[in-house]
Amino acid sequence: MTITAPSAPRTTEPRPVAQPPRPRRRGSVGYPRYVPYALLLPTIALFAAFTVFPYISALWQSFTTNTDGEAVFSGLANYTRLFQDPLFYTALWNTFVILIVQVPIMLALAIVLAVAFNSVLLKFRALWRTLYFVPIVMGLVAYGILFSALFNSQDGFVNQLLGYIGIGPVPWLTDPFWAKISIVLAMTWHYTGQSAIIYLAQLQAIPTELYEAASVDGANARKQFWHVTLPGLRPAIVLTVILSTIGTLQLFDEPFVITNGGPLNATLTVGMYLYQNGFQYFDFGYASAIGYVLTLIIGVISLIQFRLFREKS
């Protein structure tokens, strides 16, 4: 009798799993390294032609003066003239006055509107948001003409309304003080809705749990606004303050269309003064110097604002 050893159990080997194809390395066949740069080349060329070159050309022109129809290198003559020009300081002062008055008023109104837009108690919220955002869609020249007609001292609609309540005609566009007020009112009407929408987007990102926790701790609506809403709006406030400051320092359209810089240069801004020297007197060297000094002022103020807000946060 022969005893045979039991045969080993048959094992089934697992089938090999198909491996996904390896991605091609950059620089390998079919994906040359220069492809991304070739795709970016048209954008780089347009940026260099219409942004970099004008900046460099304007910088060169700021060191030249027009002599017998030719640009002649004059060193720092334009900058020396600029810092001795009383009209430039008048334009700079007017610009800062409008900045200091208009920007805080506009941003405060925008915060109030954003809180109202975000309230569940407001009916037809989408309609109100649209209505307050519509002014930003209107062209700058169009709304400038509109406000010049509204503030007309003779037969303007605003003076007609004031006459109904017994207030005499206000010299909106013929008095230096009221001319500045008309520019501030026009800009506030035009830009408040845009800032309000930015604040509204930031408000909707604030967690509702913070308001619930504040309510449990006994905070009323006013304390919730100061200790929850405003800190939550800080990133949007930083953005709108810097953008509004830059836009106001470059102010041109409103005083040009509404008051034409008058009366008595009361609404002449740095942007208007640059335009006058460049495109009315054709003194491009001096206009370029004004532009670069304005750029330096904007850069310094924006940097100070950014650092102040960052330190507070």
* 218 backbone dihedrals φ, ψ, rounded to 5°: 95, 10
User: What mean pLDDT value characterizes the chain?
Assistant: 86
* Full DSSP string of 71-104: EEE-TTHHHHHHHT-HHHHHHHHHHHHHHHHHHH
Do residues 119 and 224 make contact, with C-beta atoms less than 8 angstroms apart? Answer: no
Residue 1: pLDDT band with limits 50, 70, 90: very low
3-class SS of residue 182: helix
| Two tokens, residue 195 | 């800032």
| Cα end-to-end distance, the chain, whole Å | 95
Which tokens sit at 159? 């003076």
The 10 Å Cβ neighbour count of residue 183 is 28
Across the range 13-20, mean pLDDT stands at 58
The confidence band for 35, taking pLDDT boundaries of 50, 70 and 90, is confident
Q: What is the pLDDT at residue 153?
A: 83
SS3 label, residue 245: helix
Give the span between the Cα atoms of 304 and 291, in whole angstroms. Answer: 20
Residue 299 has pLDDT above 70, yes or no: yes
Structure-token pair, residue 31: 């994906």
Distance, CA of 286 to CA of 276 (rounded, Å): 10
Least confident of 223-227, 243-247, 307-311: 307-311
Q: How far apart are CA 174 and CA 156, in angstroms?
A: 13
Please state, in angstroms and rounded to a whole number, the distance separating the CA atoms of residues 74 and 55: 19
Confidence of residue 167 (pLDDT cuts 50, 70, 90): confident
What's the rounded Cα separation, in Å, for the pair 74 and 64?
5
Cβ contacts of 62 within 8 Å, gap of 6 or more:
78, 79, 285, 288, 289, 291, 292
Per cent of the chain over pLDDT 90 is: 50
Neighbours of 160 (CB within 10 A): 12
Judge whether residue 28 has pLDDT over 70: no
Residue 266 backbone class (left: φ over 0; alpha: ψ -120 to 50; beta: rest): alpha
